Amino acid sequence: MNNLEDFIANLTPEERQKHQSLIQECLKRKEMINKNTEKAINSIDSLNKSIERLKQGIKNLENASRIQCEITNNLLTDILPLIQKLSPGKPSMN
């Protein structure tokens, strides 16, 4: 039996009549499962899109952080000689 409809189709009329309420309950639950499955798939798709946006945001933040570090290091490299000239203790980059 592949699915519920196949099973029901193979029941005798007497069996269908005898189990009518159970059959109806099964069909109702199958419909709910199908609806919930579709909602779950849509939620997973939405979550995957959000994860992709998050990953891109993290990459952008990483790049911005790297650039900021380079700018800070360049400024320190440019400013340190001036500070050393003005300070008697001569700070170093170490």
Q: Judge whether 42 lies within some domain.
A: yes
Q: Judge whether 76 lies within some domain.
A: yes
Question: In the chain, how many domains are there?
Answer: 1
Domain, as residue range, for 17:
4-86
Q: Is the pLDDT of residue 71 over 50?
A: yes
Residues 1-29: tens digit of each pLDDT: 468 888 889 999 999 999 999 999 999 99
- Quick one: pLDDT at residue 1? 46
Is residue 25 within 8 Å of 33, Cβ to Cβ? no
Q: Judge whether 61 lies within some domain.
A: yes
Q: What is the dihedral of CA 25, 30, 36, 41, to 10 degrees?
A: 170
Q: Judge whether 92 lies within some domain.
A: no
How far, CA to CA in Å, does 55 sit from each of 7, 21, 47, 49? 47, 50, 12, 10
Q: Is the pLDDT of residue 52 over 70?
A: yes
Residues 35-51: tens digit of each pLDDT: 999 999 999 999 999 99
- Quick one: pLDDT at residue 83? 83
Q: Judge whether 73 lies within some domain.
A: yes
Q: Is the pLDDT of residue 93 over 90?
A: no
Tokens matching residue 74: 């360049």
Is residue 42 within 8 Å of 50, Cβ to Cβ? no
Tokens matching residue 94: 């170490």
Q: Judge whether 94 lies within some domain.
A: no
